[in-house]
């Protein structure tokens, strides 16, 4: 079915503060790269099941934190997240590094976890370590809002499943979130899991979508 441009760009699904257009929904098809709207929608949809001790930062907010240099603005933006009360903070990380630049082309995941030794950083990437510097920059900014006595956080690259194509990085980032929160092994995530995840996401989104 061919949609008019205005229909394709109108909100097809709404969930709390998250919105998806029909163009966004089309990205759930195999071989398509997920954008920040789809990733943000899925984490918002599942946020109630994650518990009060977990914060999954919206990917657009994560990018803003990475590039924002004004500490007062960061304070105002992050204060509503109550990061000082969180045990785990998860942030989908994109390789876009500057304001005004084109959207990036790869997603990975940063995990900040509170423990006896303070806040530790963990990096999960379904291809390599291309976003590690961005994740490290983000971690150093967020950690001080989780623990005022800690100003830096060394991010460690963790073992995790690898994608077999050029489009499933965002799906893998979402799978890593689910796996970490369920106590599973991120190294056991497979391309088959990514295919099943796309189907599951599409079923949920379509069940919430407005009629075309």
> How big is the CA angle at 172 (ends 166 and 173), to the nearest 5 degrees?
115
Read off the pLDDT of residues 11-28 as tens digits, 9 standing for 90 and up.
899 998 899 999 999 999
Taking 50 as the threshold, does the pLDDT of residue 101 lie above it?
no
Cα(126)–Cα(160) distance, integer angstroms: 7
Q: What is the chain's mean pLDDT, rounded?
A: 91
Cα(98)–Cα(81) distance, integer angstroms: 24
Strands 107-115 and 118-124, by their bridges, are: antiparallel
DSSP state string for the chain = -PPPHHHHHSEEEEETTEEEEHHHHHTTSTTPPP-HHHHHHHHHHTGGGG-TTEEE--HHHHHHHHH---HHHHHHHHGGG-GGG-SEEEEEEES--STTSPP-S-EEEEEEEEETTEEEEEEE-SS-STTHHHHHHHHHHHHHHH-TT----PEEE------SSSS-HHHHHHHHHHHHHTT--GGG--HHHHHHHHHHHHHHHHHHPPP-
The partner residues of 88 in beta bridges, in order of sequence, read 54, 113
Read off the pLDDT of residues 129-148 as tens digits, 9 standing for 90 and up.
999 999 999 999 999 999 88
- Given this model, what pLDDT does residue 9 score? 60
Taking 90 as the threshold, does the pLDDT of residue 172 lie above it?
yes
- Given this model, what pLDDT does residue 189 score? 98
Mean pLDDT, rounded, for 154-173? 97
Cα(89)–Cα(83) distance, integer angstroms: 8
Taking 60 as the threshold, does the pLDDT of residue 99 lie above it?
no
Read off the pLDDT of residues 180-209 as tens digits, 9 standing for 90 and up.
999 999 999 999 999 999 999 999 999 999
- Given this model, what pLDDT does residue 98 score? 59
């Amino acid at each position: 079915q061919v949609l008019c441009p205005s229909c394709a760009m109108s909100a097809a699904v709404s969930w709390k503060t998250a919105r998806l257009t029909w163009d966004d929904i089309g990205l759930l098809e195999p071989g398509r790269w997920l954008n920040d709207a789809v990733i943000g929608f899925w984490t918002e949809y599942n946020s109630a099941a994650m518990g009060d001790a977990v914060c999954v930062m919206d990917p657009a907010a994560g990018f803003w934190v990475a590039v924002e240099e004004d500490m007062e603005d960061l304070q105002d933006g992050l204060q509503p997240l109550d990061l000082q009360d969180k045990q785990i903070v998860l942030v989908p990380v994109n390789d876009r590094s500057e304001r005004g630049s084109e959207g990036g082309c790869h997603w990975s995941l940063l995990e900040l976890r509170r423990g006896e030794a303070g806040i530790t950083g963990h990096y999960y990437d379904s291809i390599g370590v291309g976003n590690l510097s961005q994740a490290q920059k983000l971690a150093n900014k967020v950690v001080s809002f989780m623990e005022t006595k800690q100003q830096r956080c060394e991010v460690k690259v963790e073992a995790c499943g690898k994608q077999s194509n050029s489009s499933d990085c965002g799906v893998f980032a979402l799978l890593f979130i689910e796996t970490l929160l369920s106590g599973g092994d991120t190294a056991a995530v497979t391309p088959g899991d990514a295919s099943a995840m796309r189907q599951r996401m599409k079923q949920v989104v379509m069940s919430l979508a407005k009629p075309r």
